[in-house]
Amino acid sequence: MMWLIIILGTLVLLVCWLLVAPVELEIDTIHAQAAVHWISIGSVRVWYEEEWWFSIQVFFFHKTMPFSQMKKGPKKATATLENGKQKKKLKTKSILKKVTQVIGSLQITEWRLAIDSGEYNLNARLYPLNFLSWTAGHLFINFQGNNYLVAKLRAQPWKIALAFIK
């Protein structure tokens, strides 16, 4: 009986830790890389060096390989009912609502965006955005051809799950 309580307690603590451990998403178009880090659990990283690479690390397991070596499985046929009709698709409105709720649960910890539209008139119209208080140090409208995005988002899985359930 005591072993059962210990095992169940350990499983409950593990599930609680999985729900509380923060998840970080990093996007960097300057260096052509993106990464998802689940703190103390694992990470997935994609970057470009002559070709696209993929790296995954979960606890002590680590695997790195180029995308060209990843195998694609066969395409699955669409599911049909007995009378030959296809299953109903989810409504776009409900999917969009779920996506906006999940995005709303994310916390932006860092962001930098540089824009050069290539048109001097449009850049000149957008240039005053550099001096707004909420974009200071984050948004760079320029005339030098620099276009990039650096963003770091942080979320907790329980908040994402709660936003998805609502």
Q: Structural domain boundaries of the chain?
A: 21-68, 90-166
Rg (CA), the chain: 22
Q: Considering the entire predicted model, what is its pTM?
A: 0.73
Name the burial class of residue 141, with classes exposed (0-12), middle (13-18) and buried (19+) by CB atoms within 10 angstroms of its CB: buried
Is pLDDT at 27 greater than 90 in this prediction? yes
Instruction: Give per-residue pLDDT as tens, 132-164.
Output: 888 778 899 989 989 999 999 999 888 888 888
| Predicted pLDDT at 133 | 83
Q: End-to-end alpha-carbon separation of the chain, Å?
A: 38
pLDDT digits (tens, 9 = 90+) for 45-83: 999 988 999 999 998 899 999 988 877 766 666 555 566
Percentage, residues of the chain above pLDDT 70: 89
Cβ neighbors of 131 (< 8 A, separation 6 or more) are none
